[in-house]
Amino acid sequence: MPKILGNSLAEHRERTRRALFDALSDLLSKQPFDKITLSDVATRAGVGRTAVYNHFTDKEDLLLAFMEHETGRYARELAHILTDVADPIDRLRIYVRQQALVKRHYHFPTTGPLANSVSRDTAGRLHAHAGHMTQMLTRILTDAMEAGAIPRQDPALLIPLIHACVLGGRPTPTDPRARAAYLEALDMFVLRAVGAPEPDHAVPSVHQPHGTQSPPRPARAAG
């Protein structure tokens, strides 16, 4: 009989799911989804292969559950962070910065290797998870317009352009200096695109939501 993780069956199931999600996340950061097997996930999670089928019917079912869990958690944490920021332009800048720092395999593009590795139904359901972020950005842009911080414009037209800019280009650099320069350029580009004035301060520093890469460390002064 498999060893029970935790003090109850419910806790055991939750711990097993988290272990499987962590294993899939780690594997996705290293190889394409179509190259990953459920055996790979089970081995990385430290559970038996049959245990995977106690939770998910197949690999795509696991991917759907993983993406829903990760995007939901990230959206909740980012929304909580933004509630403490009064300036809508600073909220926009934080949103853009955090989206650029989200681990690349947490994003699900409408085209590309991952989209081509799953069924059309799964692709559509995964893409629908982007609705969390669309709603959040709509609120930010609407608040900025109502405050007179940016010109009146249609958020439905702006949002795909902002997301294409942040998520559709090259991956955020990993080298600290290159990353800092890229994020600063991205900040200025998006602000100019929406008609916001040039800021007189840096993007506010916030606690990193789950699923994001570490922000660039400031360079040490020569001494």
**Three-state SS for 212?**
strand
Highest mean pLDDT among 10-19, 30-39, 68-77, 153-162: 153-162
What residue spans define the domains of the chain? 1-56, 63-216
Report pLDDT digits (tens) over 15-62: 899 999 999 988 988 888 888 999 999 999 999 888 899 899 988 889
Q: Are 177 and 136 within 8 A, CB to CB?
A: no
The CATH class given to the 63-216 domain equals mainly alpha
Closest Cα to residue 55, out of 16, 5, 22, 3? Answer: 16
Kindly report the pTM of this predicted structure.
Answer: 0.75
User: DSSP of 21-64, one letter per residue?
Assistant: HHHHHHHHTTS-GGG--HHHHHHHHTS-HHHHHTT-SSHHHHHH
Identify the CATH homologous superfamily for domain 1-56.
Homeodomain-like (1.10.10.60)
Chain centroid to Cα 194, Å, comes to 22
